[in-house]
Chain A
Amino acid sequence: QKEVEQDPGPLSVPEGAIVSLNCTYSNSAFQYFMWYRQYSRKGPELLMYTYSSGNKEDGRFTAQVDKSSKYISLFIRDSQPSDSATYLCAMSASRNSGYALNFGKGTSLLVTP
């Protein structure tokens, strides 16, 4: 079993829809959780960063972490065509465990006008 599982999609939604992207993981030592957005032929850019459990909101984006279920989510409200990209979840354990960052395979999102 891979440490981080993410449905690759593709996920297609109409403009204005609420998008839910998810990852599951198996390593209970993970404490840092990130979502990256990657446009085609570009490097990933950091969208959200969360430490431990809880919610974090930034504009139209909300990140949720449920450590008891080993499940993280990214919600996008009022989705726009410009949100069309691949979304990668990433997570890591504490610094004492090294710098390894574990990525999901990414979910391809298409927001249609």
Chain B
Amino acid sequence: GAVVSQHPSRVICKSGTSVKIECRSLDFQATTMFWYRQFPKQSLMLMATSNEGSKATYEQGVEKDKFLINHASLTLSTLTVTSAHPEDSSFYICSARVGPSGANVLTFGAGSRLTVL
């Protein structure tokens, strides 16, 4: 089946540094990928929709200058958390749509746990 690979699975960084998270579709092409954020015991919150070859679409309240998304190829999307602060500590998960045409069935990466000290 379709696999979405996400790295790193866990990252710890100092406040003020930037962190890049990669999301790859391994055996299919993903023109669109989605980035979610999840706080403990909370549901998934859509941050942005990443479109290959064009600018990402950010959800209301998500700072586009803080969370930089690049989708340079059909198999790779990256999320860069710039000038990270402790409040950015969270679980970040990417996903791609794999359902039949017209269906919004998503497959997810394993997630990246970011801890900002």
| Interface residues, chain A, with chain B CB atoms under 8 Å away | 8, 32, 34, 36, 41-46, 49, 51, 88, 90, 92, 94-95, 99-101, 103-106, 108
25 residue pairs bridging A and B, Cβ less than 8 Å apart? A32-B103, A32-B104, A32-B105, A34-B106, A41-B91, A41-B113, A43-B93, A43-B108, A43-B110, A44-B44, A44-B93, A45-B107, A45-B108, A46-B107, A49-B103, A49-B105, A51-B103, A88-B43, A95-B102, A95-B103, A95-B104, A101-B34, A101-B46, A103-B43, A105-B42
Complex Cα distance, B99 from A32, in Å, reads 10
Given A49-B99, A95-B101, A103-B43, 8 more contacts at CB 8 Å?
A41-B111, A45-B107, A46-B107, A95-B104, A99-B97, A100-B104, A101-B106, A103-B44
**Tally of A-B residue pairs with Cβ under 8 A?**
61
- A residues less than 8 Å from B97 (CB atoms): 99
Point out which of B44, B99, B109 has the most chain A C-beta atoms below 10 A from its C-beta. B44
Q: How far is the CA of A51 from the CA of B99 in the complex (A)?
A: 11
Query: Chain B interface mostly helix, strand, loop or mixed?
Result: strand
Count of chain B residues with Cβ under 8 Å from any Cβ of A?
A: 27
Residue B89 CB within 8 A of the other chain: no
**Chain A: CB-nearest residue to B113:** A41
**Bound CA span A90–B4, Å:** 19
A63 to B23, CA, bound (A): 30
Q: For B44, give the chain A residue with the smallest CB separation.
A: A103
| B59 → chain A closest CB, angstroms | 9
State how many angstroms separate the Cβ of B103 from the closest Cβ of chain A.
Answer: 5
> How many angstroms from the CA of A85 to the CA of B110 in the assembled complex?
15
Judged by a CB distance under 8 angstroms, whether B82 is at the interface is no
Inter-chain CA distance A103–B93, complex, in Å, is 14
- Interfacial chain A residues near B113, Cβ < 8 Å: 41
B103 and A104 form a contact (CB under 8 A): no
